[in-house]
Structure 1
Amino acid sequence: MSGASTTYLTKKPVVTIIQDVSVWDAVWIMAQRGFRRLPVVDEDSRLVGIITATDLVRRLSSVSSADGVSEALNHRVADVMTREVAYVSMDQRLLDAVRMMVDRRVGGVPVVNGEGRVRGIVTERDVVHVFTDKICGVKVSDLMTKEVVTAEPSMRIIDALKLMVESGFRRLPIVEDGNLVGMATVMDMIRLLAANRSKPSRTVWEALSKDIIEIATPNVVTVRGNRDVGEAAELMMEFRIGALPVLNGGKLIGIITERDFFKLLKPIIHK
């Protein structure tokens, strides 16, 4: 399968967005469809950019008032999207897509046909699914990120958002008295924005000023550090999540993500 072309991935649904619609529309589509990246297309469905949940969160990271919310989000998608998109063609191999993701440090690449029209997308989750048999033989504690950025339950959502942007992480474990009590992600923030889509900017700002624990997932799926990474990969696929906090004796010692598994694929990627 690793040597196959990306064509088979065009059979899975891909959601795109037109460049002339509003950023609020992007927020709504991401929240409703559960995708954190949307290829941006022109009126002929040709790829012209990409917009991600992280892009939207980054725009909010400097906001300090209700007026700032309007300034950050009342734009066209074309004004905020990434124009230099990493992509692959339908006749390229899946490994080419993986190399592109590693080289460009992105979590997904659109698949286009000969006319540049979007026909699919390859994501980190797709890669983990295809290479499941290669993700094994290493302890979770040897592959995880050990320096975990965390938040306290009482941290404001807007401050947690800024912390994510500053640290470069899409997820924040919520820790109280050394115990893991929740997990907040950029998609939690996207869903919060979508829920307040038609409301005044002041209401959106008030929502962003609440405690992060209010939007965090309380019952977090975790893995122990002494388990094989294959078990971690299976848990991620079973629960359709991209990361697992790593515990030892009930205490948080790290976090492992889909992207961490790419480290095990280096021998294959660089063949």
Structure 2
Amino acid sequence: MHQNDRGIKQGDRLLKMQGKLDRGPVEFKSHIVEQEGEIMAIATRDVISIPPTQSIITAVEKMTKCGFRRLPVTDAGTGMVRGIITSGDIINFMGGGDKFRLVQVRHGGNLLAALNEPVRTIMTQQIATLHSDARIGDAVDVIIKKKIGGLPVIDKEGALTGIVTERDVMRVLAAARSPLHAEDVMSSELRVTGPDSPIASVTREMTKYRFRRLPVVSDDVLYGIITATDIMRYLGNREVFSRLTTGNFAEVADLPVRALIAGELFTTTPEKSINEVARDMLEKNIGSLPVIEDSRLIGLVTEFDLVKAFAKG
């Protein structure tokens, strides 16, 4: 059954899409992850970090240039981890949540001035980390329980030695054949937005529900996917500055998200195995795939969904 929700504003919709098949809840049978290798075997060792005194715009530009969704914040001298700045923190800062107060209150709505504040003012300070002798199973546990996409790896003194992401974990776990398919693990109750929804509306939705991405739907047809990285890239590529004359955030807040959707739209189908879905994500360097059936969006599979599915069942 497909709910139209035509009386609800296009930019604020919850679609419950089950497709034509009866997709009840899938019961996973938990098992212990058997990978016993040290976490450093899959972690990125040559980690780029930023000191807490660096400006927000410098952090955003570095993340955009390197294609990162997160950047550890470390003391310049000791390498001790003090926090992490993520694409989620950036969209929170851009009108999504409490970090927007830096723009709105301290700088009276002046985005340019707020971007020059030190990154410590918006970074996430209480973060989960892994020690360098941790197992892959430890990373899986933290990622699933805390719904975290990336974990700094530290040594006994607390200095940064690496970073491991859910993509790193998914790559390892996907080596084991799974009987599950996209329809078994996808999210079928989806919040979506419209192509003409303003940036400010989308950042609020993402922050409120802790989403990194939202399907963009127009007249019940999938238009694209807007991600936190797309919005962050808008700042990091300095495109936002071409729209600013006074520096006020209001000048960019109403830009429709259709202008920010980047790249080709990739999709998958409900019957595709999750091993194939994982391989497609890794090859295309993307974090999610919309699930399409009879030309209709019925779900979304993310890296997190796959890590959870491979680790259980």
Per the TM superposition, whether the score is higher than 0.5 is: yes
**Of 166, 170, 173, which residue of structure 1 is paired with 2:215?**
173
User: Aligned letter for 2:80?
Assistant: R
Deviation of the 1:234 alpha carbon: 0.8
SS of alignment partner, residue 149 of structure 1: strand
Alignment check: 8 A CA contact 2:42 2:169 kept: no
Cα distance in 1 between the residues matched to 2:177 and 2:217: 29
Aligned to 1:78: 120
Confirm or deny that 1:24 pairs with 2:57: yes
CA shift in 2, pair 1:132/1:78, >3 Å: same
SS of alignment partner, residue 193 of structure 1: helix
Confirm or deny that 1:50 pairs with 2:84: yes
Deviates further, 252-261 or 223-232? 223-232
Aligned to 2:14: none
Aligned to 2:225: 183
**Of 36, 39, 50, which residue of structure 2 is paired with 1:6?**
39
Deviation of the 1:131 alpha carbon: 0.8
Confirm or deny that 1:222 pairs with 2:267: yes
Aligned to 2:302: 257
Cα distance in 1 between the residues matched to 2:177 and 2:198: 37
Cα distance in 2 between the residues matched to 1:77 and 1:202: 19
Q: Please list, as runs of the form range in 1=range in 2, the aligned pairs for 1:114-125 lying within 5 A after superposition.
A: 114-125=156-167
Cα distance in 1 between the residues matched to 2:83 and 2:44: 21
Aligned to 1:244: 289
Cα distance in 2 between the residues matched to 1:195 and 1:174: 22
CA shift in 2, pair 1:11/1:188, >3 Å: closer
User: Aligned letter for 1:51?
Assistant: I
Deviates further, 31-40 or 188-197? 188-197
Cα distance in 1 between the residues matched to 2:131 and 2:157: 10
Deviation of the 1:165 alpha carbon: 1.5
Aligned length: 268
Which one has more relative contact order, counting CA pairs under 8 Å at least 6 apart?
A: 2
User: Aligned letter for 1:224?
Assistant: T
Confirm or deny that 1:133 pairs with 2:178: no
CA shift in 2, pair 1:190/1:135, >3 Å: farther
**Of 216, 234, 259, which residue of structure 1 is paired with 2:279?**
234
SS of alignment partner, residue 138 of structure 2: helix
User: Aligned letter for 2:39?
Assistant: T
Alignment check: 8 A CA contact 2:192 2:216 kept: yes
Deviates further, 49-58 or 112-121? 112-121
Aligned to 2:69: 36
Alignment check: 8 A CA contact 2:112 2:248 kept: no
Return structure 1 stretches of 4+ with deviation > 6 angstroms: none
Structure with greater proportional helix content: 1
SS of alignment partner, residue 95 of structure 1: helix
CA shift in 2, pair 1:218/1:33, >3 Å: closer
User: Aligned letter for 1:141?
Assistant: E
Q: Please list, as runs of the form range in 1=range in 2, the aligned pairs for 1:61-210 lying within 5 A after superposition.
A: 61=96, 67=109, 69-70=111-112, 73-134=115-176, 136-196=178-238, 199=241, 200=244, 202=247, 205-210=250-255
Alignment check: 8 A CA contact 2:49 2:74 kept: yes
Alignment check: 8 A CA contact 1:149 1:167 kept: no
Deviations 1:124-162 (A, max 9, x none): 100111111236211211110001111111111221221
Cα distance in 1 between the residues matched to 2:190 and 2:115: 30
Cα distance in 1 between the residues matched to 2:273 and 2:312: 19
Deviation of the 1:4 alpha carbon: 0.5
SS of alignment partner, residue 169 of structure 1: coil
Q: Please give the TM-score of this superposition, normalised by the length of structure 2.
A: 0.78
CA shift in 2, pair 1:42/1:7, >3 Å: same
Q: Please give the TM-score of this superposition, normalised by the length of structure 1.
A: 0.90
Deviations 1:232-261 (A, max 9, x none): 111100101010011001111110000001
Deviates further, 50-59 or 76-85? 76-85
Cα distance in 1 between the residues matched to 2:129 and 2:192: 33
Alignment check: 8 A CA contact 1:145 1:255 kept: yes
